[in-house]
Protein backbone atom coordinates (compact mmCIF):
# COMPACT_ATOMS: atom_id res chain seq x y z
CA UNK A 1 0.00 0.00 0.00
CA UNK A 2 2.85 2.42 0.82
CA UNK A 3 4.19 2.02 -2.70
CA UNK A 4 0.84 2.18 -4.49
CA UNK A 5 -0.92 5.04 -2.69
CA UNK A 6 1.23 7.95 -3.94
CA UNK A 7 0.86 6.81 -7.56
CA UNK A 8 -2.87 6.16 -7.13
CA UNK A 9 -3.44 9.62 -5.68
CA UNK A 10 -1.96 11.16 -8.82
CA UNK A 11 -3.82 8.82 -11.20
CA UNK A 12 -7.22 9.19 -9.53
CA UNK A 13 -6.78 12.97 -9.21
CA UNK A 14 -6.22 13.16 -12.97
CA UNK A 15 -9.41 11.15 -13.57
CA UNK A 16 -11.36 13.41 -11.20
CA UNK A 17 -10.00 16.47 -13.01
CA UNK A 18 -11.00 14.97 -16.37
CA UNK A 19 -14.55 14.41 -15.10
CA UNK A 20 -14.74 17.98 -13.82
CA UNK A 21 -13.33 19.43 -17.02
CA UNK A 22 -15.86 17.49 -19.06
CA UNK A 23 -18.72 19.15 -17.19
CA UNK A 24 -17.11 22.60 -17.07
CA UNK A 25 -16.47 22.61 -20.83
CA UNK A 26 -20.19 22.10 -21.40
CA UNK A 27 -20.96 25.14 -19.28
CA UNK A 28 -23.74 25.64 -16.77
CA UNK A 29 -21.66 23.87 -14.10
CA UNK A 30 -19.08 24.69 -11.47
CA UNK A 31 -16.96 22.76 -9.00
CA UNK A 32 -18.07 23.33 -5.43
CA UNK A 33 -15.24 23.97 -3.01
CA UNK A 34 -11.54 24.43 -3.43
CA UNK A 35 -9.70 22.90 -6.36
CA UNK A 36 -6.54 22.44 -4.26
CA UNK A 37 -5.94 20.52 -1.05
CA UNK A 38 -8.81 18.08 -1.39
CA UNK A 39 -9.50 14.38 -1.72
CA UNK A 40 -8.32 12.90 -5.01
CA UNK A 41 -11.31 10.62 -5.50
CA UNK A 42 -14.30 12.90 -4.89
CA UNK A 43 -15.77 15.99 -6.48
CA UNK A 44 -18.96 17.94 -5.98
CA UNK A 45 -20.35 19.75 -8.99
CA UNK A 46 -23.16 22.26 -9.20
CA UNK A 47 -25.24 21.67 -12.34
CA UNK A 48 -27.35 24.83 -12.52
CA UNK A 49 -31.06 24.05 -12.86
CA UNK A 50 -30.72 20.29 -12.26
CA UNK A 51 -33.08 18.44 -9.93
CA UNK A 52 -30.30 16.42 -8.28
CA UNK A 53 -32.59 14.26 -6.13
CA UNK A 54 -34.47 12.89 -9.13
CA UNK A 55 -31.32 12.64 -11.21
CA UNK A 56 -29.50 10.61 -8.54
CA UNK A 57 -32.51 8.29 -8.15
CA UNK A 58 -32.41 7.50 -11.86
CA UNK A 59 -28.67 7.40 -12.55
CA UNK A 60 -27.30 6.21 -9.18
CA UNK A 61 -27.34 2.55 -10.21
CA UNK A 62 -25.09 3.27 -13.23
CA UNK A 63 -22.57 5.78 -11.85
CA UNK A 64 -21.28 6.46 -8.32
CA UNK A 65 -23.16 9.68 -7.55
CA UNK A 66 -25.01 11.18 -4.62
CA UNK A 67 -26.77 14.43 -3.88
CA UNK A 68 -25.17 14.70 -0.43
CA UNK A 69 -22.37 13.39 1.67
CA UNK A 70 -22.18 9.68 2.32
CA UNK A 71 -23.37 10.17 5.89
CA UNK A 72 -26.52 12.08 4.84
CA UNK A 73 -27.36 10.41 1.54
CA UNK A 74 -30.81 9.36 2.78
CA UNK A 75 -31.83 12.98 3.47
CA UNK A 76 -33.50 15.14 0.82
CA UNK A 77 -32.70 18.46 2.48
CA UNK A 78 -30.03 20.65 0.90
CA UNK A 79 -26.54 19.72 2.09
CA UNK A 80 -25.64 21.67 5.23
CA UNK A 81 -22.00 21.53 4.15
CA UNK A 82 -22.73 23.13 0.76
CA UNK A 83 -24.89 25.74 2.46
CA UNK A 84 -22.07 26.51 4.92
CA UNK A 85 -19.83 27.03 1.88
CA UNK A 86 -22.22 29.77 0.70
CA UNK A 87 -24.45 27.92 -1.77
CA UNK A 88 -28.13 28.76 -1.82
CA UNK A 89 -30.76 26.06 -1.20
CA UNK A 90 -31.38 25.88 -4.93
CA UNK A 91 -27.68 25.52 -5.75
CA UNK A 92 -27.22 22.85 -3.07
CA UNK A 93 -30.21 20.95 -4.47
CA UNK A 94 -28.60 21.08 -7.93
CA UNK A 95 -25.25 19.70 -6.78
CA UNK A 96 -23.97 16.16 -7.16
CA UNK A 97 -21.09 14.33 -5.48
CA UNK A 98 -19.14 12.07 -7.84
CA UNK A 99 -16.88 9.38 -6.39
CA UNK A 100 -14.01 7.55 -8.06
CA UNK A 101 -12.16 4.51 -6.83
CA UNK A 102 -8.86 2.75 -7.16
CA UNK A 103 -10.24 0.62 -9.96
CA UNK A 104 -11.76 3.53 -11.92
CA UNK A 105 -10.38 3.71 -15.47
CA UNK A 106 -10.06 6.45 -18.06
CA UNK A 107 -12.56 4.58 -20.23
CA UNK A 108 -15.09 4.57 -17.38
CA UNK A 109 -14.73 8.33 -17.00
CA UNK A 110 -15.39 8.74 -20.74
CA UNK A 111 -18.47 6.49 -20.57
CA UNK A 112 -19.74 8.18 -17.41
CA UNK A 113 -19.33 11.65 -18.92
CA UNK A 114 -21.18 10.62 -22.05
CA UNK A 115 -24.01 9.05 -20.07
CA UNK A 116 -24.23 11.83 -17.50
CA UNK A 117 -24.18 14.65 -20.04
CA UNK A 118 -26.98 12.99 -21.99
CA UNK A 119 -29.07 12.25 -18.89
CA UNK A 120 -28.54 15.63 -17.21
CA UNK A 121 -30.23 17.30 -20.17
CA UNK A 122 -33.33 15.19 -19.46
CA UNK A 123 -33.61 16.55 -15.91
CA UNK A 124 -33.32 20.27 -16.52
**Would you name the residues annotated as active-site residues?**
71
Range list of β-strands (E), 2-102: 29-31, 42-47, 65-66, 95-99
Q: Number of C-alpha atoms within 13 angstroms, CB side, residue 119? A: 17
SS3 65: strand
Over its C-alpha atoms, the chain yields an Rg (Å, rounded) of: 14
Amino acid sequence: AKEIIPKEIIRVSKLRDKLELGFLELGNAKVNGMVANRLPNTTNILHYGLDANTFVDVIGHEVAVSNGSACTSAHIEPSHVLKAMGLSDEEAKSSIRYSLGRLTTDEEIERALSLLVHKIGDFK
